Amino acid sequence: MSVTVFLDKDGTLLEDIPYNVDPQRMRLAPLGDRALRLLAEYDCRVVVVSNQSGVARGYFSESSLERVEDWLRTVFRRFGVDFAGFYYCPHHPEGDVAEFAIECDCRKPGDGMLRRAAADLGIDLSEAWMVGDILDDVEAGNRAGCRTILIDNDNETEWRLSTLRWPTVVVRNLESAARAIVDDIVTHSARRPRSRSVA
């Protein structure tokens, strides 16, 4: 069975441009191309989970996120990655759009997006990984029961540590995160990359 990897969007999978929903400005994070090829090689399926409070703040409409999902689907297809879904939280309690200005369980560090994806896609969260660039991502993954990877690329500025905010692995970039995941796959399941023939 494929290993599922939850990826945060901005600052993890993509270059960190705040409130960006314009595909023309979207770029993979450094070494992101290598990371995606590696995840594809080991048949990982990827779910992107992203806080999108710009909807609640009135910066862009929820429908704008359809273009984001289309762009993600195209990029993942290019690298041969099994793109299983894009889950986002449009809420923020201090938002200006009443419909979305609420407390919710999906906004990270809550684990609602991961649990919804698990229910929709049949994911065993104990076998999944959550990868992000801040400790809110780590906490969301830990709350859901995933193993977690923090990409320490200077985007985390508060460092409010607790048991729930302690990552399984800390790395410097997305390629290293992917390498940690596939190393674990090889070690614990003897899974081999698609490009190798197994006798």
> Residue 120 catalytic?
no
The catalytically annotated residue of 10, 111, 133, 137 is 10
Q: Which domains does the chain have, with CATH numbers?
A: 4-189 (3.40.50.1000)
The catalytically annotated residue of 8, 111, 136, 137 is 8
Q: State the chain's mean pLDDT as an integer.
A: 94
- How many angstroms separate the Cα of 58 from the Cα of each of 9, 24, 65? 20, 21, 13
Confidence of residue 31 (pLDDT cuts 50, 70, 90): very high
Q: Of 149-158, 161-170, 183-192, which gets the smallest average pLDDT?
A: 183-192
Over residues 7-19, the mean pLDDT reads: 97
Before 109, cis peptide (omega within 30)?
Answer: yes
What pLDDT does residue 148 have?
A: 98
pTM: 0.93
Q: Which of 199, 149, 189, 151 shows the shortest CA–CA distance to 43?
A: 189
Over residues 57-68, the mean pLDDT reads: 97
Confidence of residue 1 (pLDDT cuts 50, 70, 90): low
Question: Counting Cβ atoms within 10 Å, is residue 55 exposed (0-12), middle (13-18) or buried (19+)?
Answer: buried
